[in-house]
Structure 1
């Protein structure tokens, strides 16, 4: 059943593309206005017929799209794709905590805990 609906869906898509390309450009967005060449139908009658056909094909396309969605949802089992292959999902790896809590490198062992103040006179300068 799914293959039949899918085939109809693809045929409707191709026909819809063809009918849209046959229609006369109203906005002239591509710079190619529809010429006034003679055909089996007049300009206005052809436009309304192609418009109706476009709506009909679009409606069929939407109906087949919804049908394919419902068919696929009915066939879905509610399990993961990983379950179908017998795999297991492992917990994500947690990175180890760094050695320190701050972003600075560890101080040398003989370094003072606090830096000297600038006004205590221990600095030599000119």
Structure 2
């Protein structure tokens, strides 16, 4: 009888753990996000933000400060190819995005950049 209860407890524990693992999304548990906070007279306002979503396959850029420079997110895929997305509408509502990754070739690194001239000011993000 004791052996039967112990075996039953092990089977139930295994089923619970397997159920939790099966129900958890693999890559969507962590989405990368980064912002740049150097705008305005006190250099402490958010210029914009960007990141990766959709299981590390989509990159986005959002310009949030109306100063005329813009905002960009660069990405690197697992296979080493790179690219970027600019916020197409300036600081107006809404962001811009691209989906360069796939389930087998995800975004592994990204940088968000305030496109201040003459040099972009970039911050490293971690997907």
TM range (shorter): under 0.3
| Larger RCO, structure (CA 8 Å, separation 6 or more) | 1
Structure of higher CA gyration radius = 1
Bigger proportion of residues as helix: 1
TM-score with structure 1 setting the length? 0.27
